[in-house]
Amino acid sequence: MLFGDRAKYTMLVCGLSFCALLMTQQTSVFCGLLLWTTATLRNVRVPVWVADAKVEQVNEVVPLREIEVQRVRSIPGVEWAVPLFWNILQARLPDGTFQGVQLTGLDGASLVGRPSKMKEGRIEDLRLPSAVIVDQVAIHKFAKRGIDLKVGSVFEINDKEARVVGICETERSFLGQPYVFTTYSRALEYAPMQRKLLSFILVQPKEGVQIDSLLAHISSLGGLRAFTAKQFSKETILWYFKNTGIPISFGTVVILGMVVGIAIAGQTFYLFVHENMRYLAALKAMGAGFGVLARMVFLQAFTVGLIGYGLGVGIAALFGNAVLKKGEPPFYMPWQIMAFSGSVILFICLLSAFIGLVKITRTEAAMVFK
């Protein structure tokens, strides 16, 4: 009955596929976008971050006094603490145009927070005069302006020379600007002069130290707030949830996909049952009970649901594979997203089947003789 009615079978599969595709793809892009907001945490990779007490997320910088590094180092349980400069500055390109960059200044002695993947050059070359390391986003953005950025290339930050000594690979940022790494002291030279320039303090706890007590001790110094990298990531994502329209925008599209799926699948399945009612009535007349007919309807509904879900998620995965090679738009599809889409499709199938069963319960077996 199901496969014999090609038109309605195709309509059901297409409707459920579109629903699964829309929910999976949009939710994955949403998760990828939120993942971009915490890119700095994954690029720097330290266990404990210390910021100003008013900082709520990692992309927000409230400068600290240099003395705060020594105060944190003096706390029992701290293995080491190093300064980090992070801010968005304007780089002047050789053709005279400007490009915003996320300048990251690392401790010159230890280079803590260094890029984990170097494509060209050596991280130790950052200690050379005017040395910087750029990421793959900088290469791409400079290339759009006709500039071939490579090791040895020179540009300016705040009218001071920046010479590329290496190219690294980083996690893309929500802000969309390329990362430029240099030493902390040189970053202060590039930055516009102001009274306080320290952005964050990176901390390594001693082995066996209770993290919660260490965080509480640092935060008790006054004017400081300490996070683990996981906590800072969670706080950042929650901040974007509460203070931006991103969840509402993507949530509206996902809900629209659910409504479209319910409307198409419910109406089409009802029409399918209605047009095949004479056959179902004949089965009733031959002694088939409601349980048998219900199992038939549920089997039909779950068959198109499984096929539609597989096609929708498969197309979303192909889309994700294609955009990940380009690097944008963001895309992250954990198993929870597939479980969410599968649950919604299951609900739509159950609802469609119940709509069909209501029609069956109101049908008399005698109608087959009419």
Contacts of 48 (CB under 8 A, 6+ apart): 202, 203, 204, 205, 211, 214, 215, 218, 226, 227, 228, 229
Extract the tokens encoding 227: 């996070």
Q: Give yes or no: residues 26 and 61 share one domain.
A: no
Extract the tokens encoding 152: 């040895």
Q: Which residue has the tokens 């400069």?
A: 85
pTM here? 0.82
Q: Give yes or no: residues 165 and 262 share one domain.
A: no
Tell me: the pLDDT tens digits for 13-34? 888 888 888 889 989 999 988 8
Query: How many angstroms separate the CA atoms of 355 and 254, rounded?
Result: 23
Q: Give yes or no: residues 310 and 259 share one domain.
A: yes
Q: Degrees (nearest 5) of the Cα angle 107, 110, 114? A: 75
Query: How many angstroms separate the CA atoms of 303 and 209, rounded?
Result: 55
Give the chain's domain count.
2
Q: Give yes or no: residues 170 and 67 share one domain.
A: yes
Q: Are strands 78-92 and 224-228 parallel, antiparallel or unpaired?
A: unpaired
Instruction: Provide the pLDDT for residue 175.
Output: 83
Instruction: Provide the pLDDT for residue 287.
Output: 64
What is the block-wise mean pLDDT of the chain (370 residues), using blocks of 10 residues?
Answer: 73 84 90 90 93 92 93 93 94 87 94 91 92 93 87 91 94 89 94 91 93 92 91 93 86 84 75 69 66 78 88 91 78 90 87 74 56
Q: Degrees (nearest 5) of the Cα angle 201, 103, 167? A: 115
Q: Give yes or no: residues 256 and 206 share one domain.
A: no
Query: How many angstroms separate the CA atoms of 44 and 199, rounded?
Result: 13
Is 237 inside a domain boundary? Answer: no
Q: Give yes or no: residues 271 and 301 share one domain.
A: yes
Is 212 inside a domain boundary? Answer: yes
Instruction: Provide the pLDDT for residue 310.
Output: 92
Instruction: Provide the pLDDT for residue 300.
Output: 81
Largest Cα–Cα distance in the chain? Answer: 96
Q: Give yes or no: residues 288 and 354 share one domain.
A: yes
Query: How many angstroms separate the CA atoms of 224 and 68, rounded?
Result: 9
Is 231 inside a domain boundary? Answer: no
Q: What are phi and psi of 104, to 5 degrees?
A: -120, 115
Last residue of a domain, one of 222, 255, 280: 222
Is 239 inside a domain boundary? Answer: no
Q: Give yes or no: residues 126 and 173 share one domain.
A: yes
Domain range for 80 is 54-222
What per-residue string of b and e applies to 263-290 under the rule 16 or more CB within 10 Å gives b?
ebbbebbebbbeebbeebbebbeeeeee
Query: How many angstroms separate the CA atoms of 342 and 251, rounded?
Result: 17
Instruction: Provide the pLDDT for residue 13.
Output: 84
| Contact by Cβ (8 Å): 204, 80 | yes
Instruction: Provide the pLDDT for residue 143.
Output: 87
Query: How many angstroms separate the CA atoms of 87 and 15, rounded?
Result: 47
Q: Degrees (nearest 5) of the Cα angle 8, 9, 10? A: 90
Tell me: the pLDDT tens digits for 252-269? 888 888 888 777 777 777
What per-residue string of b and e applies to 198-233 under the rule 16 or more CB within 10 Å gives b?
bbbbbbbbeeebeeeebbebbeebeebbbbbbeebb
Q: Give yes or no: residues 116 and 207 share one domain.
A: yes
Q: Give yes or no: residues 115 and 180 share one domain.
A: yes
Query: How many angstroms separate the CA atoms of 162 and 18, rounded?
Result: 50
Q: Residue 53, Cβ neighbours under 10 Å: how many? A: 13
